[in-house]
Amino acid sequence: MKKILSIFILFPFCLFGQSKKSGLDFNSTLVQIPLDLKKNAHTVFRLDEGIVDVAAPGRYTFKVHQILTILNKDGAHHLHQAHGIDKFNKIEDIEIKVFHQLGNEIEKYRKKDFSVSAAYDGMSLITDNKVMQLVIPVTEYPVTLEISYTEEVSSHTNLQPWYFQGYGVAVELSRFIVKIPVEMDIRYSIKNISINPVITTVGSKKNYLWEVKNLAAKKFEEGAGEYARSPKLLIGANQFEYDGYRGNMSDWKGLGTWYTDLVKQTNQLSGKYKAEIQNLVTGTLNDIEKIRILYAYLQNNFRYVNISLGIGGFKPFPADFVHEKKYGDCKGLSNYMQACLNAVNIKSYSALINAGEEEAPVDPDFPYNGFNHVILCVPMNKDTVWLECTSKTVDFAHLSNFTENRNALLVTENGGVLVATPRSRSHQNDFTIITTVDLNENGSGKIESRMKTTGKYKYEQLSYSQEKDDIKKKYFVNELGFPDPDEFDISFGEKNIQPLTTIFRLKLDKINDFSAGSKMFFKPRFHRIWPAKLPATEPRTEDFLFECPLQKTDTTILKLPQGYVVDALPKTKDLKCDFATYRTSYWFDETQKAIYSTAKLELNQHLIPAEKYASVKSFFDEVVQDGAQRIVIKKE
């Protein structure tokens, strides 16, 4: 919903701010970093200070002053300085000084040294977003940067957030100050650190000060979600203004009311377009079927583009415009779908949500615009239908791991109402595969795998169905673990049929892993049921995130060539942990002269508490290790 930069800015902690008067003797501290702050650190922030000075509900100044020492190349991303700018966010003054490890200034950069380019993300149709950036060349470490800049903000829904620390970063002093007119007020939320503000009143401003010192560096823990437990501070002004639209965010109702005012008169279709939509469902009596028909119409005829020009970052284009142009962004397509439902007398609500595969639900006790996406909610008598209006592949009434298990803000006629979105169960992300292997005496043969997929696996396969054959092949070999075929053929079923059926046929000159004398050795499955061992734990301090709950079932049928018999079958497994199960079985069918191998893996929860991670890792390590067993056949 808000602006999205086209580049991946790798230094979020060097953009969030500071002030000019540090109270530190800069020259004397360059080579005096305490040893305990160097441990596990690639960068030490000597000073990290930011001041937000609020002038009015829609305007504030953000001043930043940082002194950071980059110890080694792992901190090199701090040398890439970038700022997103648009009509409401402008960088006025910026200066960067570069110091040798002994304290000598070796370079200085100003605003004129930054390049400015359009922040194009490949999907935006209309945007005024730009990025100004500078890459600082460095030949040796350590190196110290002193960064100062001022940003003028003329429209906002939230005040500047503050991140005290990132992974691999130690902090000597981090200080954040908010100055706000006494007649206004702020709300704040502290995450992953215990700290209270010092509050004072100076003249017409109330000042809030948060300060931390001597934070040791934290190691990045794979699978935790980026900055999942980084100490951070979120700030919300009760009174705000964006592009002339004023609002109050002291509660969720107020934010919803503000958005309702934005979308007035945009979610109704004019007469002739309304009639077109009504004709699509003529003769359909069931509301669910009407919604299904209109959702299919949306998916088959409209495409997603990003629109983020000024208030267009929040306000959708009118439904008539979207109907005519056959494109829109998340808010535009959701608003259009709402207009279609209005045309057939079905009530629905736009739902603001924080989308992303590793996003946590917004805090219900802290009203804050942390949303970046819009979906649609259709309340029904027995259940609620949720619609992802930007995707051509997501099933009707299903949310993927992009938006499931979150808190969404429904935009109702009575203001905002925070509700929970559904969370998927393991059977909704199902991968079932039956593989038949016709083996020749020389070890060559044919393999046919029939896959039936739902949820995550279905969407994954549909995305690859549009790729060239070499990309499809890489997916099946690298991602699913099939052997690299000499010849292959792939066919995908109809996307609207549940589950999706995919057939992968391949020929191999050598199907067995290896031979020894008269024996041939085979993996128990030709599809990899789990890709790799989970990251090591030391022990773990942060929760671990899988993409979603899931289940995978593999049946492999190895047809023996004439004159061969079973020599050995793998041992069966029955593994359990608090969140997952895994079972295998093996047998020989005399009638078919075929070895059957079955395996079923089920993960019931995607979020694993840190204290449970060791047992879950051990479980999945055993699953991976089980794939190393071998089926052995031999000549009679």
Q: What is the pLDDT of residue 308?
A: 57
Q: What is the spatial order of strands in the sheet that 373-379 belongs to?
A: 384-387, 373-379, 349-353, 407-412, 415-420
Q: What is the pLDDT of residue 9?
A: 32
**Model confidence at 125, in pLDDT bands (50, 70, 90)?**
low
d(CA 268, CA 232) in angstroms, rounded, equals: 41
Provide, rounded to the nearest whole percent, the portion of the chain with pLDDT above 90: 80
Q: Give the fold, CATH level 3, of 252-420.
A: C8orf32 fold (3.10.620)
Q: Which is more confident, 127 or 490? A: 490
Q: What is the pLDDT of residue 358?
A: 78
DSSP H or E segment with residue 324: helix 319-325
Q: DSSP string spanning 134-193?
A: EE---SSS-EEEEEEEEEEES-BSSPPPEE---TTEEEEEEEEEEEEETTS-EEEEEESS
**Model confidence at 25, in pLDDT bands (50, 70, 90)?**
low
Res. 460: pLDDT tops 90: yes
Residues 282-301, mean pLDDT to the nearest whole number? 95
Res. 1: pLDDT tops 80: no
d(CA 626, CA 530) in angstroms, rounded, equals: 10
Res. 496: pLDDT tops 60: yes
> For residue range 384-415, what is the model confidence (pLDDT) as tens digits?
999 999 999 899 999 988 999 999 999 999 99
> For residue range 70-108, what is the model confidence (pLDDT) as tens digits?
999 999 999 999 999 999 999 999 999 999 888 889 999
The reply to whether omega before 367 is within 30° of 0 (cis) is no
**Model confidence at 486, in pLDDT bands (50, 70, 90)?**
confident
Q: What is the pLDDT of residue 19?
A: 34
Res. 7: pLDDT tops 60: no
> Is 527 in a helix, a strand, or coil?
coil
DSSP state of 317: P
Whole-number Cα distances in Å, 78 to 81, 369, 428, 583: 7, 28, 41, 47
Q: What is the pLDDT of residue 24?
A: 44
> Is 585 in a helix, a strand, or coil?
strand
CATH architecture of the region 12-245: Sandwich (2.60)
**Model confidence at 171, in pLDDT bands (50, 70, 90)?**
very high
Least confident of 25-29, 206-210, 337-341, 342-346: 25-29
Q: What is the pLDDT of residue 433?
A: 98
**Model confidence at 14, in pLDDT bands (50, 70, 90)?**
very low
**Model confidence at 32, in pLDDT bands (50, 70, 90)?**
confident
Main-chain phi, psi angles of 200, to 5 degrees: -135, 165
**Model confidence at 226, in pLDDT bands (50, 70, 90)?**
low
Residues 335-363, mean pLDDT to the nearest whole number? 94
The listed CATH number (1.10.40.30, 2.60.120.1130, 3.40.1440.60, 3.30.2090.10) that belongs to domain 427-635: 2.60.120.1130
Least confident of 24-38, 86-100, 263-277, 448-462: 24-38
Q: For the purposes of burial, counting CB atoms within 10 Å of the CB of 628, is it exposed (0-12), middle (13-18) or buried (19 or more)?
A: exposed
Q: What is the pLDDT of residue 398?
A: 92
Query: Domain spans of the chain?
Result: 12-245, 252-420, 427-635
> For residue range 513-528, what is the model confidence (pLDDT) as tens digits?
999 999 999 999 999 9
Q: What is the mean pLDDT of the chain?
A: 90
Residues 348-363, mean pLDDT to the nearest whole number? 91
Provide, rounded to the nearest whole percent, the portion of the chain with pLDDT above 70: 92
> For residue range 309-347, what is the model confidence (pLDDT) as tens digits?
445 578 899 999 999 999 999 999 999 999 999 999 999
d(CA 75, CA 369) in angstroms, rounded, equals: 31
Cα-Cα-Cα-Cα dihedral sign, residues 504, 508, 511, 514: negative
Chain centre distance of CA 116: 27
Q: Which residue, chain included where needed, has tokens 């359990």?
A: 576
Residues 294-323, mean pLDDT to the nearest whole number? 85
**Model confidence at 560, in pLDDT bands (50, 70, 90)?**
very high
Q: What is the pLDDT of residue 180?
A: 97
> For residue range 136-163, what is the model confidence (pLDDT) as tens digits?
999 999 999 999 999 999 999 999 999 9
What's the helix, strand, coil split of the chain in %, to 5?
20, 40, 40
| 12-245 and 427-635 share one fold | no
Tally of CB atoms within 10 A around 563:
10
